[in-house]
Chains A and B, each alone.
Chain A
Amino acid sequence: MPDNPVTSQGASGAAKHAGSADNADILHAGHPPYLRHHFNSTEQQADTANFAMWLFLLTEVMFFGGLFTAYLIYRNWYYPAFVAGSHQLNVVWGTTNTFVLILSSFTMAMGVWCAETRRRKGLVLCLTLTFILGLCFLGIKTIEYREKIEMHHVPGFHYSLQSFLDPASNPEVFKEYHDQPLALDMARHTEIYFSLYFLMTGMHALHMIIGIGILAFMIFRARSGAYTAGHVTFVENFGLYWHFVDIVWIYLFALLYLISRHQ
Chain B
Amino acid sequence: MSTNAIISLPDQSTARIPKDNFITRENGLLSWLLTGDHKRIAILYLISITFFFFIGGALAGLIRLELLTPQTDLMATDTYNKVFTMHGIIMIFFFLVPSVPATLGNFFIPMMIGAKDLALPKINLLSWYLYMAGGILAVYTMASGGVDTGWTFTTPLSTHYVNTNVLTTGLAVFVAGFSSILTGLNFIVTIHKMRAPGMTWFRLPLFIWAHYAASILMVLATPVVAIAIVLVALERTFGIGVFDPIKGGDPLLFQHLFWFYSHPAVYIMILPGMGVISEVISTFSRKRIFGYTAVAFSSVAIAVFGFFVWAHHMFIMGISNYAVLVFSLLTMLVAVPSAIKIFNWTFTLYKGSITFETPMIYAFGFLGLFTIGGMTGVFLGASGTDIHLTETYFIVAHFHFVMVGGMLMAFLSGIHFWWPKITGRMYPEKISQFAAVVTFIGFNLTFFPQFILGVLGMPRRYASYPPEFQVLNVFSTAGATILGVGYLLPVLYLIWSLKYGAIAGNNPWQATGLEWQTQSPPLTENFAVMPIMDHEAYDYEWLEQQQQAHKESEATHAG
Q: Whole-angstrom distance between the alpha carbons of A64 and B121 in the complex? A: 27
Residues 185-243 (chain A) with a chain B CB within 8 angstroms: 188-189, 191-192, 195-196, 198-199
For residue A10, which residues in chain B have a CB less than 8 angstroms away from its CB?
Answer: 197, 529-530
Q: Whole-angstrom distance between the alpha carbons of A64 and B228 in the complex? A: 11
- Per-residue CB contact flags for chain B residues 241-257 toward chain A (1 = under 8 Å, else 0) read 11000011110010011
Question: Is A92 part of the contact surface with B, judged by Cβ < 8 Å?
Answer: no
Known A11-B1, A14-B525, A18-B523; judge A51-B248 contact (CB<8 A). Answer: no
Q: Whole-angstrom distance between the alpha carbons of A195 and B241 in the complex? A: 7
Contact A59 B223 (CB under 8 A): yes
Question: Is B193 part of the contact surface with A, judged by Cβ < 8 Å?
Answer: yes
Contact B247 A192 (CB under 8 A): yes
Question: Is B533 part of the contact surface with A, judged by Cβ < 8 Å?
Answer: no
For residue B234, which residues in chain A have a CB less than 8 angstroms away from its CB?
Answer: 195, 199
Residues 194-232 (chain B) with a chain A CB within 8 angstroms: 194, 197, 219-224, 226-228, 231
Question: Is B188 part of the contact surface with A, judged by Cβ < 8 Å?
Answer: yes
Among B119, B121, B257, the most chain A Cβ lie within 10 Å of the Cβ of: B119
Question: Is B40 part of the contact surface with A, judged by Cβ < 8 Å?
Answer: no
Contact A192 B219 (CB under 8 A): no
Contact B525 A18 (CB under 8 A): yes
Q: Whole-angstrom distance between the alpha carbons of A218 and B71 in the complex? A: 64
- What are 20 A-B contacts with C-beta separation under 8 Å? A14-B525, A18-B523, A38-B118, A44-B193, A48-B120, A48-B194, A52-B186, A59-B220, A60-B223, A62-B220, A63-B223, A63-B226, A65-B223, A66-B227, A73-B250, A73-B253, A78-B248, A196-B242, A198-B240, A199-B240
Question: Is A106 part of the contact surface with B, judged by Cβ < 8 Å?
Answer: no
Contact B194 A52 (CB under 8 A): no
Q: Whole-angstrom distance between the alpha carbons of A67 and B257 in the complex? A: 10
Question: Is A21 part of the contact surface with B, judged by Cβ < 8 Å?
Answer: yes
Contact A191 B247 (CB under 8 A): yes
Contact B115 A38 (CB under 8 A): yes
Known A15-B528, A38-B117, A55-B219; judge A67-B239 contact (CB<8 A). Answer: no
Q: Whole-angstrom distance between the alpha carbons of A81 and B241 in the complex? A: 14
CB distance from B238 to the nearest CB of A (A): 4
Known A21-B524, A156-B239; judge A74-B248 contact (CB<8 A). Answer: yes
For residue A59, which residues in chain B have a CB less than 8 angstroms away from its CB?
Answer: 181, 185, 219-220, 222-223
CB distance from A62 to the nearest CB of B (A): 4
Contact B242 A70 (CB under 8 A): yes
Contact B188 A55 (CB under 8 A): yes
Closest to B222 in A: A59
Question: Is B379 part of the contact surface with A, judged by Cβ < 8 Å?
Answer: no
Q: Whole-angstrom distance between the alpha carbons of A38 and B253 in the complex? A: 44
Closest to A51 in B: B189
Contact A157 B247 (CB under 8 A): no
Contact A66 B257 (CB under 8 A): yes
CB distance from A82 to the nearest CB of B (A): 11
Q: A14-B528, A38-B194 are in contact. List 14 more A-B contacts (CB 8 A).
A: A14-B529, A17-B524, A37-B525, A38-B117, A52-B120, A62-B219, A63-B223, A65-B223, A66-B224, A70-B242, A191-B240, A191-B248, A195-B240, A199-B240
Question: Is A58 part of the contact surface with B, judged by Cβ < 8 Å?
Answer: yes
Q: Which 3 A-B pairs have the closest CB atoms?
A: A156-B238, A66-B227, A38-B117
Contact B247 A189 (CB under 8 A): yes
Among A38, A47, A48, A191, the most chain B Cβ lie within 10 Å of the Cβ of: A38
- Per-residue CB contact flags for chain A residues 166-196 toward chain B (1 = under 8 Å, else 0) read 0000000000000000000000110110011
CB distance from A197 to the nearest CB of B (A): 10
CB distance from B270 to the nearest CB of A (A): 21
Among A56, A62, A191, the most chain B Cβ lie within 10 Å of the Cβ of: A62
Closest to A64 in B: B227
Question: Is A155 part of the contact surface with B, judged by Cβ < 8 Å?
Answer: yes
Known A38-B121, A70-B253, A155-B240; judge A52-B189 contact (CB<8 A). Answer: yes
Question: Is B192 part of the contact surface with A, judged by Cβ < 8 Å?
Answer: yes
Question: Is B499 part of the contact surface with A, judged by Cβ < 8 Å?
Answer: no
Closest to B527 in A: A14
Closest to B247 in A: A191
Question: Is B400 part of the contact surface with A, judged by Cβ < 8 Å?
Answer: no
Question: Is B116 part of the contact surface with A, judged by Cβ < 8 Å?
Answer: yes
- With beta carbons under 8 angstroms apart, the residue of A14, A58, A155, A198 that contacts B219 is A58
For residue B227, which residues in chain A have a CB less than 8 angstroms away from its CB?
Answer: 63-67
For residue A47, which residues in chain B have a CB less than 8 angstroms away from its CB?
Answer: 193
Contact B194 A191 (CB under 8 A): no
CB distance from A12 to the nearest CB of B (A): 9
Contact A157 B238 (CB under 8 A): yes
Among A21, A52, A56, A74, the most chain B Cβ lie within 10 Å of the Cβ of: A52
Residues 33-53 (chain A) with a chain B CB within 8 angstroms: 36-38, 40, 44, 47-48, 51-52
Closest to B250 in A: A73
Question: Is B25 part of the contact surface with A, judged by Cβ < 8 Å?
Answer: yes
Contact A58 B220 (CB under 8 A): yes
Residues 1-20 (chain A) with a chain B CB within 8 angstroms: 10-11, 14-15, 17-18
- Per-residue CB contact flags for chain A residues 60-97 toward chain B (1 = under 8 Å, else 0) read 10111111011001100110010000000000000000
Known A14-B527, A38-B117, A58-B219; judge A192-B224 contact (CB<8 A). Answer: no
Q: Whole-angstrom distance between the alpha carbons of A36 and B116 in the complex? A: 11
For residue A74, which residues in chain B have a CB less than 8 angstroms away from its CB?
Answer: 242, 248-249
For residue A62, which residues in chain B have a CB less than 8 angstroms away from its CB?
Answer: 219-221, 223-224
Among A37, A56, A70, the most chain B Cβ lie within 10 Å of the Cβ of: A70
CB distance from A156 to the nearest CB of B (A): 4
For residue B250, which residues in chain A have a CB less than 8 angstroms away from its CB?
Answer: 73
Contact B185 A48 (CB under 8 A): no
Q: Whole-angstrom distance between the alpha carbons of A45 and B370 in the complex? A: 40
Q: Whole-angstrom distance between the alpha carbons of A51 and B188 in the complex? A: 9
For residue A195, which residues in chain B have a CB less than 8 angstroms away from its CB?
Answer: 234, 240-242
Contact B116 A51 (CB under 8 A): no
Contact A17 B525 (CB under 8 A): yes
Contact B224 A51 (CB under 8 A): no
Contact B185 A155 (CB under 8 A): no
For residue A199, which residues in chain B have a CB less than 8 angstroms away from its CB?
Answer: 231, 234, 240, 242
- Per-residue CB contact flags for chain B residues 131-174 toward chain A (1 = under 8 Å, else 0) read 00000000000000000000000000000000000000000000
For residue B120, which residues in chain A have a CB less than 8 angstroms away from its CB?
Answer: 48, 52
Among B25, B185, B193, B241, the most chain A Cβ lie within 10 Å of the Cβ of: B241
Known A14-B529, A59-B181, A63-B226; judge A51-B25 contact (CB<8 A). Answer: no
Q: Whole-angstrom distance between the alpha carbons of A174 and B539 in the complex? A: 77
Known A56-B185, A155-B239, A195-B242; judge A37-B253 contact (CB<8 A). Answer: no
For residue B115, which residues in chain A have a CB less than 8 angstroms away from its CB?
Answer: 38
For residue A78, which residues in chain B have a CB less than 8 angstroms away from its CB?
Answer: 248
Q: Whole-angstrom distance between the alpha carbons of A16 and B80 in the complex? A: 59
Q: Whole-angstrom distance between the alpha carbons of A225 and B295 in the complex? A: 50
Q: Whole-angstrom distance between the alpha carbons of A70 and B192 in the complex? A: 34
Contact B238 A191 (CB under 8 A): no
